[in-house]
A and B are shown apart, each in its own frame.
Chain A
């Protein structure tokens, strides 16, 4: 049976994996390649690397890092951050990334999603959606959560799916950093409505949250950063717990 996936996310700033709360107070937690390998050994199903500096100057270093990751890692990984055009995606795929996530640029230019999936295949195009619940509705935000758009999360997810997105990475801004559980309700709405996998992010604090996400939220995958970096949770232990509770995972 196809398993649910656990995807640790590594935020990279100037070549270092960093942790911080709401992009503040960033502390280095180590070499992204070594940490990625450690997670892979612990049973991560996939990895996500996010370039949080994403400046034009840092591009080359970022591509060099992707190449290092690709050489070392024997599981798939996605990269994201600062994707603006077809060229950016091409360079990241050529450096060895399996998937590239696109966020603000897709909202600015929805046609970009169509072009990317035609050019490189849907399987490697992930559309990342940052959403916030306000007055009962989930709204899409861009620019690291600073700008609200006119899109409702479900409508936007449907739009990019029709344009050929291969997966949706949904981050709930209400839950991100809270460690009080994932946004189960909106994840479920997306997972049931969409013909493509939904990766949920934001709010992971303990094992029970992942179980709830898979059981009630019907997510295809869970992405989390700090619970793994801070050493609160080991991926292998999390997966054993999920398996014991009837969730199909790779052990």
Chain B
């Protein structure tokens, strides 16, 4: 099983890499389409700003690759947001795989939403064996709107889609690589699909 971590101009690669190593995988870090073609799973992480991240993906032809691929792809945090239709962060069009928009949290609460929160209404393959209301770790200022397609819901000021699944595409707004044993379980589910 070969796993690639899509390496682009948004940080957080290292913690995903070490999380995979703890699970016994040796991931390839790459932003080259040719190398992505040779792997079995692609993790699309990211902490950063949507517009410049999307510009980088386009420049490298990665946007086209992601739209076309039939390999299982897991977007994490900004990765998930870029797989959505549109983000309010600097008015950025996304890849349009998940039919939702990404909104900014209203300013009356503390932003970013940072820390441990529960995921509920769990369904889909990522959450096999994960108990309802498990705690996972979040750090984000924008959220994917709640949608019937979501496979997990979290509430912070508003209910939002904490995870999505559509065909070979998966996305989580939280950081499984920093979410203790629950996070490891979710990553394992993705790798062992």
| CB of A98 closer than 8 Å to a CB of B | yes
| CB of B92 closer than 8 Å to a CB of A | no
| CB of B9 closer than 8 Å to a CB of A | no
Residues in chain A near residue B25, CB distance under 8 A: none
Q: Within the complex, which residue of A1, A75, A220 is in contact with B110, where a contact is CB–CB below 8 Å?
A: A220
For chain B residues 44-91, which have a beta carbon within 8 Å of chain A?
Answer: 47-48
**Known contacts A5-B116, A166-B114, A250 near B14 by CB under 8 Å:** no
Binary flags per residue of A74-102, CB closer than 8 Å to B gives 1, else 0: 11100000000000000001101010000
Binds B, one of A116-124, A152-160, A202-210, A222-230: A116-124
A124 to chain B, nearest CB (A): 8
* CB-based contact B137/A3 at 8 Å: no
Interface residues on chain A, number (Cβ under 8 Å): 29
Distance in angstroms between the alpha carbons of A73 and B15 in the assembled complex: 9
Distance in angstroms between the alpha carbons of A155 and B3 in the assembled complex: 48
Q: How many inter-chain contacts with C-beta < 8 Å in the A-B complex?
A: 73
* CB-based contact A74/B11 at 8 Å: no
- Chain B contact residues: over half helix, strand or loop, or mixed? mixed
Distance in angstroms between the alpha carbons of A166 and B115 in the assembled complex: 12
B52 to chain A, nearest CB (A): 12
* CB-based contact A74/B183 at 8 Å: yes
Distance in angstroms between the alpha carbons of A197 and B156 in the assembled complex: 14
* CB-based contact B115/A45 at 8 Å: yes
Interface residues on chain B, number (Cβ under 8 Å): 32
| CB of A196 closer than 8 Å to a CB of B | yes
**Known contacts A40-B180, A121-B48, A123-B47, A74 near B115 by CB under 8 Å:** no
Binds A, one of B16-24, B30-38, B142-150, B161-169: B16-24
Residue of A nearest to B133 (CB): A1
Binary flags per residue of B97-118, CB closer than 8 Å to A gives 1, else 0: 0000000000100111111111
Residues in chain A near residue B26, CB distance under 8 A: none
Distance in angstroms between the alpha carbons of A93 and B115 in the assembled complex: 18
* CB-based contact A3/B19 at 8 Å: no
* CB-based contact B184/A74 at 8 Å: yes
**Known contacts A71-B21, A74-B184, A75-B180, A2 near B135 by CB under 8 Å:** no
| CB of A70 closer than 8 Å to a CB of B | yes
* CB-based contact A2/B180 at 8 Å: no
A63 to chain B, nearest CB (A): 13
* CB-based contact B15/A70 at 8 Å: yes
A242 to chain B, nearest CB (A): 13
Residue of B nearest to A121 (CB): B47
Ordered by A's residue number, 16 sampled pairs between the chains whose C-beta atoms are within 8 Å are A1-B117, A3-B116, A71-B22, A74-B22, A74-B178, A74-B180, A74-B181, A74-B184, A75-B180, A76-B137, A93-B11, A96-B14, A123-B112, A123-B114, A166-B114, A197-B115
Chain B residues proximal to chain A, CB less than 8 Å: 11, 14-15, 18-19, 21-22, 47-48, 107, 110-118, 135, 137, 139, 155-156, 175, 177-181, 183-184
